């Protein structure tokens, strides 16, 4: 019995208590606000319902699974309006309620999938238009505007406010086909690969393509960490002899250090060797004006820094350094550096110890060299079979 009951449960990842509470609170607030505003707008007129039952199903999507393609603004607005129009039309044209209900649901689903506004609760909207009784039938096509459109807009407005105020991004970001994929994902499953598989699958999935791709990329990194016998950490590849510079050092001193030590980045530290920022060759090229004596701050940057800080700049390293700067620990697996370096465009990551003092630096070249060495080692350990 225990085994059979377990097989009846959906194969979903359990949610944290915080997420469960947030979903429940959002639905409570959404339905409460929609119902109260509807009641205030109608007053004591009983001929117009202030709230219809399908909004409860919409609330489940908008507050419990707001990342779903079925929960996006066009889904709820387009889906509910299409379903309401179809339901009212079917109720007026077909005398038999059972036949009218079947036609309303079938046509509504066909139109929603064609218009890319599929919203499961909209099926209940179509049924309400057919089976809602004399109070709904008397509204005619007014049912589309009130309560369907009004309820949908109110619930959507609450969902946008609540989800964003509680840390969720809603509406959920859609696919940007024109943009290049993140560098860390280019070597794995591509957008074209996903499109080909999804086209062959030819079914509606309750997850966006971009979310699916992000999950696959994360799984690839997790698999990489798991396959490694002992994950290589930053301590194994970092440079321990680090050339740093003080924030008040003049710009020409930073340039001299870069040239003399043949490095491309200098951590900027205080007297206690704690990271304040980082200055790179790019900073010197992009944020300064070059003259024969060396780099100096241009007028535009001086004005911008003066306005931002409330004081004039000194023409020192702190005026061009990147701050704050991402740092890592010696025990950070190098697999974690891949998305930081490639997707964020970082070329150097300072390594800090338990006391947050600088102990080393990892460059993009260090990371690439180690990953290539691991790839070569894996190929030697598992050579491809020779062709007969």
Beta-carbon contacts of residue 328 (< 8 Å; ≥ 6 apart): 234, 336, 337, 349, 350, 351, 352, 362
Rounded to 5°, the CA angle 145-151-157 comes to 120
Asked if residue 293 belongs to a domain, the reply is: no
Single out the residue in 165, 199, 218 at which a domain terminates. Answer: 165
Q: Going by DSSP bridges, is the β-strand pair 294-296/289-291 parallel, antiparallel, or unpaired?
A: antiparallel
- Convert the pLDDT of each residue in 210-222 to its tens digit: 777 777 777 766 6
Structure tokens at 313: 């700049």
Q: Which helix (H) or strand (E) holds 300?
A: helix 299-309
First CA to last CA distance, the chain: 53
Beta-carbon contacts of residue 171 (< 8 Å; ≥ 6 apart): 72, 73, 160
The pLDDT of 369-381, averaged and rounded, is: 67
Q: Where are the beta strands (DSSP E) in 208-293?
A: 265-269, 275-280, 289-291
Asked if residue 172 belongs to a domain, the reply is: no
**Domain co-membership, 91 together with 142:** yes
Asked if residue 123 belongs to a domain, the reply is: yes
Q: Which of 201, 181, 200, 206 is nearest to 191 (CA)?
A: 181
**Domain co-membership, 188 together with 145:** no
d(CA 197, CA 200): 5
Asked if residue 68 belongs to a domain, the reply is: yes
Residue in the structure block whose two tokens are 């894996």 = 378
Asked if residue 346 belongs to a domain, the reply is: yes
φ, ψ dihedrals at 359, nearest 5°: -125, -10
**More confident of the two residues 140 and 180:** 140
Q: Going by DSSP bridges, is the β-strand pair 348-352/294-296 parallel, antiparallel, or unpaired?
A: unpaired
Most confident of 224-238, 246-260, 285-299: 246-260
* 313, pLDDT greater than 60: yes
pLDDT at 220: 66
pLDDT at 347: 85
The pLDDT of 104-121, averaged and rounded, is: 96
* 321, pLDDT greater than 50: yes
**Domain co-membership, 210 together with 98:** no
Average pLDDT score over the chain: 84
* 8, pLDDT greater than 70: no
pLDDT at 290: 74
* 20, pLDDT greater than 90: yes
**Domain co-membership, 252 together with 276:** yes
pLDDT at 23: 95
Beta-carbon contacts of residue 184 (< 8 Å; ≥ 6 apart): 217, 221, 338, 339, 342, 343
**More confident of the two residues 251 and 221:** 251
What is the band of 187 on the pLDDT scale with cuts at 50, 70, 90?
low
**Domain co-membership, 149 together with 194:** no
Q: Please name every residue paired with 266 in a beta bridge, in sequence order, or none if there are none.
A: 279
pTM exceeds 0.85: no
How many separate domains does the chain show? 3
What is the band of 308 on the pLDDT scale with cuts at 50, 70, 90?
confident
Of 15-24, 137-146, 217-226, 245-254, the one with minimum mean pLDDT is 217-226
The pLDDT of 241-260, averaged and rounded, is: 90
Structure tokens at 169: 């991004």
**Domain co-membership, 144 together with 223:** no
Which residues span the domain enclosing 24?
A: 14-165
């Amino acid at each position: 019995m225990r085994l059979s009951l377990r097989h009846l449960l959906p194969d979903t990842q359990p949610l944290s208590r915080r997420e469960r509470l947030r979903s429940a609170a959002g639905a409570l607030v959404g339905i409460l606000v929609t119902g109260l505003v509807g009641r205030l707008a109608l007053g004591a007129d009983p001929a117009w319902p202030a709230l219809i039952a399908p909004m409860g199903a919409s609330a489940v999507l908008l507050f419990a699974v707001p990342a779903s393609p079925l929960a996006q603004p066009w889904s709820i607005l387009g889906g509910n309006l299409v379903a309401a129009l179809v339901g009212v039309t079917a109720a007026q044209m077909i005398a038999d309620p059972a036949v009218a209900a079947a036609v309303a649901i079938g046509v509504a689903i066909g139109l929603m999938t064609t218009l890319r506004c599929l919203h499961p609760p909209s099926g209940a909207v179509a049924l309400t238009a057919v089976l809602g009784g004399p109070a709904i039938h008397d509204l005619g096509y007014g049912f589309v505007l009130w309560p369907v459109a009004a309820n949908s807009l109110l619930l959507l407005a609450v969902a946008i406010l609540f989800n964003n105020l509680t840390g969720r991004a809603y509406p959920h970001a859609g696919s940007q086909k024109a943009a290049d994929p993140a560098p860390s994902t280019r070597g794995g499953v591509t957008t074209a690969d996903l499109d080909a598989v999804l086209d062959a699958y030819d079914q509606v999935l309750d997850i966006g393509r971009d979310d699916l791709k992000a999950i696959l990329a994360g799984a690839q990194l997790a698999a990489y960490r798991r396959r490694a016998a002992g994950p290589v950490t930053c301590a194994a590849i970092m440079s321990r002899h680090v050339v740093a510079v003080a924030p008040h050092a003049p710009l020409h001193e930073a340039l001299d250090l870069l040239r003399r030590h043949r490095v491309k980045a200098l951590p900027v530290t205080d007297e206690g060797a704690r990271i304040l920022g980082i200055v790179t060759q790019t900073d010197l090229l992009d944020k300064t004006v070059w003259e024969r004596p060396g780099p100096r701050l241009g007028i535009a940057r001086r004005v911008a820094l003066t306005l931002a800080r409330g004081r004039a700049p000194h023409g020192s390293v702190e005026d061009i350094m990147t701050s704050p700067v991402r740092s890592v620990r010696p025990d950070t697996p190098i697999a974690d550096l891949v998305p930081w370096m490639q997707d964020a465009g970082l070329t150097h990551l300072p390594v800090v110890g338990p006391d947050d003092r600088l102990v080393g630096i990892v460059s993009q070249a260090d990371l690439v060299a180690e990953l290539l060495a691991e790839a070569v080692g894996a190929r030697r350990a598992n050579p491809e079979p020779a062709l007969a």
